[in-house]
Amino acid sequence: MTPAAPPRPPARLAADVARPLTLSDEAKALLTPTATARQFFDTLAAAPLPDDAIRFLAAALPKREAVWWGHTCLVGALPKPLPESAARALAAAEKWVKDPSEANRRAAGDAADLAGHGAPAGCLAAGAFWSGGSLAPPNLPPVPPRDDLTGQAVAGALFLAVAGLPAPAAARQRFLAAGADIASGRVKV
């Protein structure tokens, strides 16, 4: 007899995810006390409130999935060829997603600093660095990051990328579709 699969964790409530976020008044009006994170994301995407949906999904996804979503979107959206520092930042974020070791997390932080936190790839790599561990150098007492920093960085990376595109509304929709695929498990990390 095959043992039963462990129970799935309960769905997170949208209100818990949304609490630290800066959402529009229109988005806040759509938030109900019993809505799950997925239900609220779908509501925001259909409203359409794409910026709120991006901000919310970046916070709702597990950190590795959020960084993977950002990476997937940036690889398809950023103009080629990328500057070397941006390419390194994207590669560092991808490496951390595939192997979330402390060494890879710190390497993503270094790559973010080189690319710049005001650039999409640098912002995304910072999201990987801010996923856990300590923000302080290894020889100093630990300074843990706030839990919401990865989501903020991923959303920031996507907003920075959209700002440089000729069709930002279409890009937002592509980003949301990619995020929905990751959130639903259709695309695996």
Helix boundaries (H) for the chain: 14-18, 25-30, 37-46, 50-60, 63-77, 84-98, 102-115, 120-129, 149-163, 168-184
Look at residue 49 and give its three-state secondary structure. coil
Q: Could you say which DSSP state residue 189 is in?
A: -
CA-wise closest residue to 86 among 122, 118, 117, 124: 122
Q: Where are the domains of the chain?
A: 63-184
pLDDT for position 188: 85
120 φ, ψ to 5°?
A: -55, -50
d(CA 27, CA 143): 33
**pTM attached to this predicted model:** 0.92
Contacts of 35 (CB under 8 A, 6+ apart): 13, 14, 15, 43
pLDDT tens track, the chain, 189 positions: 555 544 545 668 999 999 999 999 999 999 999 999 999 999 999 999 999 999 999 999 999 999 999 999 999 999 999 999 999 999 999 999 999 999 999 999 999 999 999 999 999 999 999 999 999 999 999 999 999 999 999 999 999 999 989 999 999 999 999 999 999 988 888
13 φ, ψ to 5°?
A: -80, 140
Tokens of 52: 């709120």
pLDDT for position 170: 95
d(CA 176, CA 44): 10
